[in-house]
Structure 1
Amino acid sequence: MDEARLRSLTPNVLAVLVRRGADFAAAEDAVQEALVEAVRVWPITPPRDPEGWLITVAWRKFLDETRADTARRRREHLVDHEPGPGPATSRDDTLQLYFLCAHPSLTPSSAVALTLRAVGGLTTRQIARAYLVPEATMAQRISRAKRTVSGVRFDQPGDVATVLRVLYLVFNEGYSGDIDLAAEAIRLTRQLAAAIDHPEVAGLLALMLLHHARRATRTAPDGSLVPLAEQDRGRWDTASIAEGVAILQAALARDRLGEFQAQAAIAALHADAPTAEETDWVQIVEWYDELLRLTDSPVVRLNRAVAVGQADGPRAGLAALAELDGTLPRHTAVAAYLHERDGDLATAARLYAEAARKASSLAERDHLTRQAARLNARGRG
């Protein structure tokens, strides 16, 4: 039994049931029962049309449950008009499922969990392990999300921007447990890109590929963080970089710039530089300016200050940083870096230590602590 094949079929089967009138929770239960049946039957009698088989079995199981539960009499018209087996039309139901899972009534964490469950086909246990939370906690989160979207009809246009934000959140979770969420996000975004012709979908896919290409070099063998400038570029995945750049160029040629395309352009400039010293920081600042016109995000302004510090010197970077709210995450770490580049090692060491105390992860805290210790040692020497 090919688990990956089953996972690839699951979203469309679920979407067909929801479009036919089943509420999301009941449809999901019926699909899971059909998958259990497939695991039992297919090794002995493989179907000619696996997707059609799953839709037929899942729909029948949904109807059986509907008939058995007298509290669901409002669905009796579905029983009287049972469709034939297999997909009713050639429409892309999986695309609609993306939009349903990114419904605006869901919290970001719930939307991510539901997307992984319904579109990704992951089990609740796999999602819980990836997020390092108890399975019962994740089950409750998914259950609440399913109840929230139950009854939502597929008659409204979906918000592509919301879907992309959910997929980007999945990607940023990276790797933990036995599921590589970054790779899963790339798989799902490829699937979305094949279903919808939108330059921002392509931009997000390019951004993911360009970031993922550097993954093997982001941490040392002991788990410590390796800054971009110190990464071994010979170990970057050149095939992913080439694919990401090609996808990005095609998207930019359509002249419908969006934030993910702009972010991907910045990532491409980093990937294109043979060494950190040869990075085209002037172009990167220009792309941050474009990104600011699109989002006006404080985080983008913070990253732009770093780029200005590289393009025009650390004092220019510090001047740009001075315009920002000092409580921004990473603000103190950026200030430390720019002060170090400006030669003020004592101030930089103090700021690195302060940033370490504010760090949101153990790896980041350890990295900043080591930076402070390095500069303090240089000062004593």
Structure 2
Amino acid sequence: MNEKEFPHLLHLTPDPEMIATIHQLTSHYMMRSTLPFSLGKDEATYVEYGFARFADASTCTVRADEPLVLLAAAQWTEVHYRSSYKLFAKQIHLHEPSSNGFENFLALCISKAFAGAGGRRLNEVFAFSAPMGSRPPAWAKQHAELVGLYRAEGGPGATVEVGTVDVAGPAPASPAVTLGVNAKSAGETVAWLAHALHAPVCFPHASMGPDLLFLLRTLDDGRLVWVALQAKYSTGKDGTLSRYFLRKAIRSVTPSKFFVDKDGKPFSPAANPGLVTRTLELLEGLPDRRDDAGKYSLLRVVASFPAETNLKRCMEEDPDADGHPIACLSMKFIKQFTKGFSPVDFLENMENKAIGRGRITGKRTREANAPGPSRRKRLKI
């Protein structure tokens, strides 16, 4: 099945539930190279229309896992049904074992911002912070583009190629079919760091620390920099991400803490006994990397919404000792950048609702804590 055959599918299938299912499956596959759920044994209709296949004829188990079919479906639904942005915007609050709504939303927005000719100025997207007496890196003023690295011939000795990403069309155009890869294991994360997987964005194994990993290339000098991002979907305290969550977020994107738990114990599965050392070696082995972005050429980023990120609150507690720059994702930029996407003003409306709820909560708290008659009984709630 190709993109041109999907109008025929729609005419044959007026069932909106089926089209919605196809849209959800393809959008998540394009984002993470994995499917959010499986089709049941009673979904033979998907096979009839060429979207799925029988994985086991004896049990009639249906599976949709052909990359080119999923790509064609994604391209068609993006134009003729509903955008992936709209889907991920509506799911921004969802947090499931196999997928996180806020992470998906940010990955899509960042890829759109840094894709295409000319890229985007780094300090337009990221609000850099620096210790007292120092300044953000000079390259923060450069334009950068999202790229994907991959070994052209396979194997550790193969030449590493750089592929650009374009998400201006109905589906992302990148070195891979998909935009991201959902690393279900430490081994998959290492494989992505070693450029064995073509997807430009990695959702690393939970034990690593960051929520997103990707590479940016500064356009003035062609140098590469890793980006490790931690995403916090939180209302925070008084509209600001709490110090507790901020400290955890900063730690999670610091290279010396990758695959190391809060007690300093390294995560070392049997399949990857030297995981921490290998991870740092791969970071340091990045070709054409910046030598003015810390020991491992990595930009640390914290993103939060609707709560704001104030990095200055924890700069004195920064665990990094290797000179890696740090920034917060400018949600002001993201709001402006996505302002015209459908649903229009989505982030602005969400933020206003969060502020409204905060005011109501604050008022009720003040009323509850106000002094009353001495005979009034306090109820434990």
State the TM-score, normalizing by the size of structure 1: 0.28
Structure index of larger Rg: 1
State the TM-score, normalizing by the size of structure 2: 0.28
Say which structure is richer in helix: 1
* Structure with greater contact order relative to length (CA < 8 Å, sep ≥ 6): 2
Say which structure is richer in strand: 2
